[in-house]
């Protein structure tokens, strides 16, 4: 047996230069904080190199190596040895077999208590047999006194002391010299794990904790590589989780953007409505003015009738005048005068008649001329000569011939005019339908929805609904949703080559058959959409590294989408020039020239559906197309409106008797001119006759009648003035209407300018105006909705500032990007969302799946069997310990450990997997073994491992969430899963040697005193150490260190325990409170009292004076 005889401490905490003797049982007695446990720390540190002084039983002490070297004061961050310090611990042993002493020393040199532990020098020395503490040069005498010996001077003559090269080497040497054996052997490892631990049971809460601490070592499985895999898994899970968090945030942002766009749309619709209503208000005022004009014209007709009535009165006055004049007419001179006057009256009537007819002719000719001009302007040729119809010098026959030619010409173009009107109507209908469809497309694109073919969306959505109903992932997507370009210059070629295949449906292989059922059930509704059998997709062809293929310009994070694209475009070579096309069996250029099957073709250009920016491109293109169609619609509508005027004038002209009137009145102007000459001649003769005196008297009477006649005529003139006043008002209204035309044009131009920027709102604006116009005037609509626009704009700004922009700011701050605020960033956020969803997330998921596969494979091949081996060894170890424990008697009791499969349902299932017969060691370097393992593997066992790994992945995901959020989730670490001890349940069986009854300690732990519950643990500690020491019973230490021993045990329980130690011939060093001394002292060979004086500890021996007395 090897016994510890003495301990030398130099500069170790409050001990400056002290030596302590040890006997078989050594008792250290003292109050708290006097350095008892510091002595234990020194022994453990020296013999195991372990610097963890806060082990079981001492977890709250806070002691450190630097604190011991530099004399840290309790509960204070202050050190008494603040500078360069050298500490020595020397432990002396006596080997009873060869009857020689040897010493194990550790030397510690530190410059400062604040320095990193890596800078502290730690050296272990072991003397050869025959050396004692007195032989060791711990101190060197100088003129200033004694000081610790330097490292270079610390040696013995004749190489009597060896220095270990490092701490591993020190442990090897120490274990050999103490009789333990190889430090790397299971016994050596167990010694270094168990011996350095404190043995206070105060903090041991249950049997499992005790067993983990003192009995079963840490797993021997080298999980560094697995931990590396798990760290990688956690890293990938964190990346995926962060990406998913980004996706959720982007989804929220895009939802808010859509809400904002909806509010913005309402604002813009109402802004356009205000402008449109203002324009329509001008049009309505114009129409109202026209109505007033018509009213005034009607009033004029009334006044005209009044004028006619006055004309009758004037006729009566005229009759009186006639009688007066008749008297004068009987005069011969007057007869001639009357005759001439009558002749002139008849001529004047004829003149007026012909002038009226000539005026009608001129009006009709002007209308015909205007109609001909309009028809020619609209592209309809009219074949007659206007010059002949306007020439007064041509014959009547020529006039009539040309009028008939005009009539025939208009008759010939009648059908042409009707066809042109129908063409305008058809074109306008088609343009309205197209603009309505494009507005729907723009609305969808603006909300982030691509305008895929309806049949493709139907198939995709129906498949996903069924997959979700079957508790599967709804992973059906269109091929183009998975793709993106790595070289945009080839996008036209890719889109054109794939064509309708872009909309084929991609599902995972395990979902194909279910998707197939849905696809078939849809019948002809699927149209040209296809469902890809991803089960059979693999690497299709070998690529020449020197050739670039079209499929290389397309990327996808979905394996099956990429494989399908590679399959479709396999062997299709990218050519920079058309001259190179024929050099390959299948080839294509950027401008869509394709050479295939010995045929050169130009593929039709297709809209872009591939890439995260496809929506933005489609939106821009569709807006441009809508703007073009709206301009075309506006232009066509204006032309139709102008043509409606032509059609109205045409129908009005040809449907009446205007050509007959033109024929009848064509010579009226010439006739009027001839009659006017005769009237002038007769007027001269009448003036000569009026100078006769006789006639003058008669004319006075006539004058009175004429006066009366004049009064009536004046009234008629007054009415005529009123009529003229109305005609002037009509003129003012017509002038206002001319102004309104200019104003309307300006407002219309502004409306069209706004509409050109937001063409998608055109139909909604016109419909809303029509609805509002049913109950309001245009001017009221403009006024009311101008106020509405103001309120909605405030609401929109509030929404963006409180709901949208804070989310956007959160995103840009969290993920460091510079996207525009508000709805201006819609395209960026939508593109970011699609890129994340269809590319990044899929990439992260694929990377995580591959890492999980690697981890599972490594776990299966390198860890699982070792855990099985560890469990089998643990059971064997407990058998060996039980053999020792059953021979240890504590009063009437003996103890043994119970070990069994975990009763926890989940852990029990995992235990069964670990212990399964199919869990066999696989030699990865042996191909035959690998092959046999693959051939003979059990599907049930493999599925169980999958479940095991899935549970681990849950905790990996939870750890990732912990790392991202800082919120604890209670997830288990990988170390717990690879710790074989986790899957076992433990107990201590208490057997009464008198009654023979056996009871598990776990069932009675709450019934007895603390001492009763502690006794089995002390027995187990002894058994554990005895198991180590009995490997070499004659040449090994039997040292046991007990901290705060028996703290819950009464004297009657302590005495059997001390008797057991004495019987086992264990060398015991224990610390216990003074209250336990009465029971402990009778069994002790030496007892020390330790006190603290100032900053130093003092230690001295208690000597027994007799009985239980102390001195």
Which whole number is the average pLDDT over 706-712? 79
Helix ranges (DSSP H) in 1031-1104 = 1051-1063, 1077-1080
Q: Is residue 25 part of a domain?
A: yes
Provide the terminal-to-terminal Cα distance of the chain, rounded to the nearest Å: 32
Q: What percent of the chain has pLDDT over 70?
A: 89
pLDDT score at 56: 45
Q: Which residues contact 370 (CB under 8 A, 6 or more apart)?
A: 649
Give the CA distances from residue 654 to residues 320, 367, 406, 806, in Å, rounded to whole numbers and listed in that order. 48, 11, 10, 71
CA distance 7 to 91: 5
pLDDT tens-digit map of 493-511: 999 999 999 999 999 999 9
CA distance 1084 to 972: 46
CA–centroid distance for 990 within its chain: 61
Same domain, 603 and 645: no
The token pair at 588 is: 């294509």
pLDDT score at 1094: 81
Last-in-domain residue among 773, 791, 807: 773
pLDDT score at 521: 95
pLDDT score at 579: 95
Q: Is residue 1053 part of a domain?
A: no
pLDDT score at 785: 93
pLDDT tens-digit map of 527-540: 999 999 998 887 65
User: What does 63-114 look like in DSSP terms, one character per residue?
Assistant: --HHHHHTTBPTTSS-BS--S-EEEEEEEEEEETTTTEEEEEEEEEEES-TT
Same domain, 501 and 637: no
pLDDT score at 696: 62
Q: Is residue 1052 part of a domain?
A: no
Give the CA distances from residue 365 to residues 356, 359, 658, 916, in Å, rounded to whole numbers and listed in that order. 14, 10, 10, 113
Average pLDDT, the chain: 84
Phi-psi region at 141: left, alpha or beta (left = phi > 0; alpha = psi -120 to 50)? beta
Q: How many structural domains does the chain have?
A: 4
CA distance 1043 to 66: 22
Q: Is residue 508 part of a domain?
A: yes
Same domain, 458 and 332: no
Which whole number is the average pLDDT over 339-359? 81
Q: Is residue 480 part of a domain?
A: yes
Q: Which among 505, 520, 571 is positioned nearest to 544, based on CA atoms?
A: 571
User: Residue 361's pLDDT band (boundaries 50, 70, 90)?
Assistant: confident
- How many C-beta neighbours within 10 Å does residue 127 have? 23
CA–centroid distance for 1059 within its chain: 72
CA distance 234 to 230: 6
Residues in a beta bridge with 1068: 25, 1040
The C-alpha angle 792, 797, 800, rounded to 5 degrees, equals: 125
Same domain, 181 and 293: no
CA distance 998 to 175: 38
Same domain, 639 and 604: no
User: Residue 414's pLDDT band (boundaries 50, 70, 90)?
Assistant: confident
pLDDT tens-digit map of 628-675: 898 899 889 888 888 888 888 888 888 878 888 888 787 887 777 778
For 377-502, strand residue ranges (E) read 477-478, 483-485
> Could you tell me the CATH number of the domain that includes residue 1084?
3.40.1140.10
Same domain, 257 and 159: no
CA–centroid distance for 649 within its chain: 64
Residue 380 pLDDT exceeds 90? no
959 against 512, higher pLDDT: 512
Q: Is residue 222 part of a domain?
A: no
Same domain, 592 and 636: no
> Helix (H, G, I), strand (E, B), or coil: what is residue 947?
helix
Q: Is residue 971 part of a domain?
A: yes
Last-in-domain residue among 564, 579, 608: 608
Q: Is residue 576 part of a domain?
A: yes
The C-alpha angle 504, 505, 508, rounded to 5 degrees, equals: 140
User: Residue 341's pLDDT band (boundaries 50, 70, 90)?
Assistant: confident
User: Residue 581's pLDDT band (boundaries 50, 70, 90)?
Assistant: very high
pLDDT tens-digit map of 592-637: 999 999 999 999 999 999 987 888 888 888 888 888 898 899 889 8
Relative to beta strand 573-574, strand 586-588 is parallel
Same domain, 656 and 575: no
pLDDT tens-digit map of 392-401: 677 778 878 8
Residue 1111 pLDDT exceeds 60? no
Tokens 């343009």 belong to 431
Domain that holds residue 411: 243-420+629-773
pLDDT tens-digit map of 724-759: 999 899 999 999 988 888 888 889 889 888 888 888
Residues 428, 434, 440, 442, Cα dihedral to 10°: -110
Residue 923 pLDDT exceeds 60? no
Tokens 């039983």 belong to 57
Contact 789, 270 (CB under 8 A): yes
pLDDT tens-digit map of 867-921: 888 888 889 888 888 888 887 877 788 888 899 999 988 888 888 888 888 877 6
Residue 813 pLDDT exceeds 50? yes
Residue 1009 pLDDT exceeds 50? no
Residues in a beta bridge with 1109: 1106
Adjacency order of strands within the sheet including 161-163: 15-21, 2-12, 85-95, 100-110, 121-127, 161-163
Which whole number is the average pLDDT over 691-701? 64
Which whole number is the average pLDDT over 44-63? 74
CA distance 430 to 827: 31
The C-alpha angle 543, 547, 549, rounded to 5 degrees, equals: 70
Residue 860 pLDDT exceeds 70? yes
pLDDT score at 699: 66
- How many C-beta neighbours within 10 Å does residue 296 have? 19
């Amino acid at each position: 047996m090897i016994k510890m005889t003495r301990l030398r401490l130099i500069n170790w905490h409050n001990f400056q230069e002290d030596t302590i003797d040890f006997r078989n049982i050594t008792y250290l007695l003292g109050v708290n904080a006097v350095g008892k446990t510091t002595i234990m720390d020194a022994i453990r540190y020296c013999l195991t190199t372990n610097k963890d002084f806060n082990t079981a039983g001492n977890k709250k002490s806070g002691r450190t190596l630097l604190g011991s070297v530099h004399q840290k004061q309790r509960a204070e961050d202050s050190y008494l040895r603040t500078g360069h310090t050298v500490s020595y611990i020397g432990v002396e042993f006596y080997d009873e077999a060869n009857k020689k002493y040897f010493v194990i020393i550790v030397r510690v040199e530190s410059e400062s208590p604040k320095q990193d532990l890596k800078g502290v020098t730690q050296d272990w020395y072991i003397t050869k047999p025959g050396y004692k503490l007195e032989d060791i040069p711990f101190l060197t005498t100088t003129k200033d006194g004694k000081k610790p010996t330097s490292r270079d001077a610390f040696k013995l003559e004749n190489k009597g002391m060896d220095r270990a090269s490092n701490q591993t080497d020190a442990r090897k040497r120490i274990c050999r010299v103490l009789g333990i054996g190889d430090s790397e052997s299971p016994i050596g490892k167990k010694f270094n794990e168990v011996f350095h631990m404190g043995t206070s049971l105060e903090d041991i809460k249950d049997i499992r904790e005790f067993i983990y601490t003192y009995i079963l070592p840490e797993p021997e499985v080298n999980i560094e590589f697995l931990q590396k895999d798990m760290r990688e898994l956690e890293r990938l899970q964190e990346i995926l989780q962060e990406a998913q968090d980004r996706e959720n945030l982007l989804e929220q942002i895009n939802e808010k953007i859509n809400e904002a766009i909806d509010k913005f749309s309402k604002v813009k619709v109402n802004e356009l409505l205000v402008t449109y209503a203002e324009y329509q208000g001008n049009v309505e005022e114009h129409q109202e003015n026209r109505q007033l004009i018509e009213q005034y014209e009607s009033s004029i007709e009334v006044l005209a009738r009044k004028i006619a009535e006055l004309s009758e009165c004037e006729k009566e006055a005229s009759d009186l005048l006639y009688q007066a004049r008749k008297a004068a007419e009987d005069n011969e001179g007057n007869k001639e005068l009357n005759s001439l006057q009558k002749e002139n009256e008849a001529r004047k009537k004829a003149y007026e008649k012909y002038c009226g007819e000539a005026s009608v002719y001129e009006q009709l000719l002007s209308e015909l001329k205007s109609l001909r001009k309009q028809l020619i302007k609209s592209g309809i040729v009219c074949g007659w000569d206007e010059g002949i119809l306007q020439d007064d010098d041509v014959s009547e026959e020529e006039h009539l011939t040309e009028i008939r030619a005009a009539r025939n010409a208009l008759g010939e173009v009648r059908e042409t005019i009707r066809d042109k009107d129908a063409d305008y109507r058809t074109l306008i209908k088609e343009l309205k339908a197209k603009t309505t469809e494009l507005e729907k497309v723009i609305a969808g694109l603006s909300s982030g929805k691509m305008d895929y073919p309806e049949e493709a969306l139907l198939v995709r959505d129906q498949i996903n609904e069924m997959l979700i109903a079957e508790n599967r992932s709804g992973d059906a997507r269109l091929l183009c949703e998975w793709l993106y370009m790595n070289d945009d210059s080839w996008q036209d070629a890719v889109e054109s080559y794939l064509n309708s295949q872009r909309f084929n449906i991609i599902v995972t292989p395990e979902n194909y058959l279910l998707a197939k059922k849905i696809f078939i059930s849809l019948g002809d509704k699927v149209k040209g959409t296809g469902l890809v059998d991803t089960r059979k997709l693999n690497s299709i062809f070998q690529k020449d590294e020197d050739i670039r293929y079209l499929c290389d310009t397309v990327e996808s994070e979905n394996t099956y989408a990429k494989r399908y694209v590679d399959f479709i475009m396999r062997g299709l070579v990218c050519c920079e020039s058309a001259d190179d096309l024929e050099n390959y069996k299948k080839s294509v250029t950027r401008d869509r020239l394709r050479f295939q099957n010995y045929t050169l073709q130009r593929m039709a250009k297709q809209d872009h559906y591939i890439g995260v920016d496809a929506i933005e491109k489609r939106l821009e293109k569709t807006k441009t197309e809508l703007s073009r169609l709206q301009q075309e619609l506006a232009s066509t509508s204006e032309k139709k409106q102008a043509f409606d005027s032509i059609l109205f004038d045409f129908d009005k002209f040809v449907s009446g008797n205007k050509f007959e009137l033109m024929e009848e009145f064509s010579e009226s102007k010439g006739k009027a001119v001839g009659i006017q000459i005769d009237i002038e001649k007769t007027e001269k003769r009448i003036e000569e006759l009026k100078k006769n005196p006789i006639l003058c008297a008669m004319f006075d009477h006539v004058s009175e009648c004429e006066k009366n006649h004049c009064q009536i005529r004046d009234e008629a003139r007054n009415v005529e003035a009123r009529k003229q006043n109305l005609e002037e008002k009509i003129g003012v209204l017509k002038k206002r209407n001319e102004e309104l035309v200019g104003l309307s044009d300006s407002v219309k131009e502004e409306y069209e300018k706004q509409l050109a920027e937001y063409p998608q709102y055109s139909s909604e604006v016109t419909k809303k105006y029509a609805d509002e116009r049913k109950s309001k005037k245009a001017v009221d609509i403009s006024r009311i909705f101008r106020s509405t626009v103001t309120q909605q704009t405030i609401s929109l700004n509030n929404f963006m500032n409180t709901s949208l922009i804070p989310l956007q700011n959160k995103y840009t701050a969290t993920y460091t990007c510079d996207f525009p605020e508000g709805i201006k960033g819609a395209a960026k956020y939508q593109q970011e969302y699609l890129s994340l969803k269809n590319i990044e997330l899929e990439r992260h998921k694929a990377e995580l799946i591959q890492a999980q596969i690697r981890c599972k494979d490594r776990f299966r091949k390198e860890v699982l069997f070792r855990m099985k081996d560890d469990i089998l060894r643990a059971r064997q170890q407990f058998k060996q310990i039980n053999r020792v424990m059953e021979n240890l008697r504590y009063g009437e009791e003996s103890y043994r450990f119970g070990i069994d499969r975990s009763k926890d349902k989940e852990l029990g299932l995992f235990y069964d997997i670990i212990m399964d017969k199919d869990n066999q060691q696989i030699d990865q370097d042996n191909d035959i073994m690998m092959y046999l393992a693959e051939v003979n593997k059990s599907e049930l066992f493999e599925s169980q491992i999958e479940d095991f790994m899935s549970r681990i992945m849950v905790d990996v995901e939870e750890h990732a969430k912990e790392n991202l959020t800082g919120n604890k989730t209670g997830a288990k670490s990988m170390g717990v899963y690879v710790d074989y001890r986790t899957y076992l349940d433990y107990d201590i069986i208490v057997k009464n040697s008198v009654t023979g009854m056996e009871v598990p300690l776990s069932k009675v732990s709450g019934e007895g005193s603390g001492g009763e519950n502690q006794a089995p643990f002390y027995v187990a500690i002894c058994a554990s150490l005895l198991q180590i020491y009995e490997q070499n019973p004659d040449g090994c230490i039997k040292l046991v260190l007990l901290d705060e021993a028996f703290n819950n045990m009464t004297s009657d329980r302590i005495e059997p325990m001390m008797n057991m130690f004495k019987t086992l011939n264990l060398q015991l060093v224990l610390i216990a409170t003074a209250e336990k001394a009465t029971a402990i002292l009778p069994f002790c060979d030496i007892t020390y009292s330790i006190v603290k004086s100032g900053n130093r500890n003092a230690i001295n021996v208690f000597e027994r004076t007799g009985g239980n007395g102390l001195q």
